[in-house]
Amino acid sequence: MKKAFLLPLLMLSTVLLVAQTIDTDRPTQGASAIVIPQGSFQIEAGLAAAKTTNKGNDNYEALQFAIPTTTLRYAFVKNVEVRLVAQINRFEEKSSYPNFGLSQSYSETGISDLQVGFKFQLLNKEDRLIKLGWLTNFIVPAGSDGFSSESFGINNRLLISHKIDDSFSFGYNLGHTYYEYGYHEVFISIAATYKLKERFGFFIEEYAFLREGYGSQSIDHRTYINGGVTFLAKETLQLDLSFGTNLDLKNDNYSTNTRFISAGVSWLIQKKQ
């Protein structure tokens, strides 16, 4: 719990790359406060891999892959975009027992629950350093066995972007997810972004999930940190690469360590004038 709030302002997350035509929700875990331009269509897709090990068991590891995660965004009217999020997953678990000369493995592939929702622009004036957005996603239990929550849910987030100067900005998200069987999850994060020489951007982000009702009534928490780089290949095409790890390691034999890597591309298709 001590590492759960390393940043005193741990609240929400978004990346704002200043003066770019394309503004993305990748590669942070938070979402940008900016809605894409009216009539535009944006595709954000990425591959991710995570490895989880157990502190008390060197012979166990779990691998998770997103192949890929895809977000489709379309702004049918000004300041409002409709969104669809889909993900294909691969899970592999490996255990070995050297003393007995045994090993076992398990793997499964499937799709996550679909997310369908909207992003609303609440404040985006050029003369203001603060920009606000609101994101609502409806979670539809259409995923494969083992990857589905098997319950409808709703996720709401307040999105904040804070421009410090032409190169440096902060972003914040504060969110809540609820599933109909009584599960609650709060998402809080903060990200700092630095733009270098027009095309390169760097970010670092800390975020946390606080959960209640998942198997017990106690409040569980998971805290992570990630960082990476973005490259603006052209005004409407962005590439990204990021790395991360969990922070809340406990001093017992049941603690786990998760490290992950992600790479992606975002493409803005603008309405012809």
CATH number for the domain that contains residue 212:
2.40.160.40
Task: Name the band, by pLDDT with cuts 50, 70 and 90, for residue 251.
Answer: low
Decide: 159 and 173 in contact? Cβ < 8 Å: yes
Least confident of 13-22, 64-73, 138-147, 184-193: 13-22
Could you tell me if residue 42 is inside a domain? yes
- Report d(CA 107, CA 186) in Å as an integer: 30
Would the pLDDT of 176 be above 90? yes
Residue of 31, 47, 92, 114 whose CA lies nearest to 265: 47
Residue with tokens 């804070």: 162
pLDDT recorded at residue 6: 41
Structural domains in the chain (count): 1
**Residue 32 maps to a domain:** yes
Q: Is residue 40 part of a domain?
A: yes
85/110 Cα distance (integer angstroms): 15
pLDDT of residue 26 exceeding 90, the answer is yes
Given a cut of 90, whether residue 240 has pLDDT beyond it is yes
Q: Using one digit for the tens of pLDDT, what is the confidence trace for 184-216? A: 999 999 999 999 988 999 999 999 999 886 555
Inside any domain, residue 156: yes
Residue 177 binned pLDDT confidence (cut-offs 50, 70, 90): very high
Residue 170 near residue 194 (C-beta atoms within 8 A): no
**For residue 139, what pLDDT is reported?**
98
Q: Which domain holds residue 212?
A: 11-261
pLDDT at 212 (0 to 100) = 81
Tell whether 181 is covered by a domain.
yes
**Who contacts 41 (Cβ-Cβ below 8 Å, separation ≥6)?**
72, 73, 74, 268, 269
Residue 6 included in any domain: no
Q: Is the model more confident about 236 or about 19?
A: 236
Dihedral (CA of 72, 65, 211, 258) sign:
negative
Amino acid symbol at 46: G
Residue 17, pLDDT > 70, answer no
The arithmetic mean of pLDDT across residues 22-29, rounded, is 96
Supply 14's token pair. 């978004």
Structural domain includes residue 268: no
pLDDT digits (tens, 9 = 90+) for 35-58: 999 999 999 999 999 999 987 677
- Beta strands in the chain, from DSSP E residues, in sequence order: 41-54, 57-77, 80-97, 102-111, 114-123, 130-140, 153-163, 168-179, 184-196, 200-212, 219-234, 237-246, 256-269
Q: Confidence class of residue 59 from pLDDT cuts 50, 70 and 90? A: confident
Q: Does the pLDDT of residue 259 top 50, yes or no? A: yes
Which carries the bigger pLDDT value, residue 57 or residue 77?
A: 77
What local confidence, expressed as pLDDT, does residue 217 receive?
57
Residue 269 lies in a domain: no
CA atoms in the 13 A half-sphere facing the CB of 65: 11
Asked whether residue 89 carries a pLDDT value surpassing 90, the answer given is: yes
CA distances to 77, 202, 270 from 41, in Å: 12, 25, 6
CA distance 141 to 117: 14
**Per mean pLDDT, which range of 77-91, 171-185, 212-226 is the poorest?**
212-226
Do 52 and 64 touch, CB atoms closer than 8 A?
A: yes
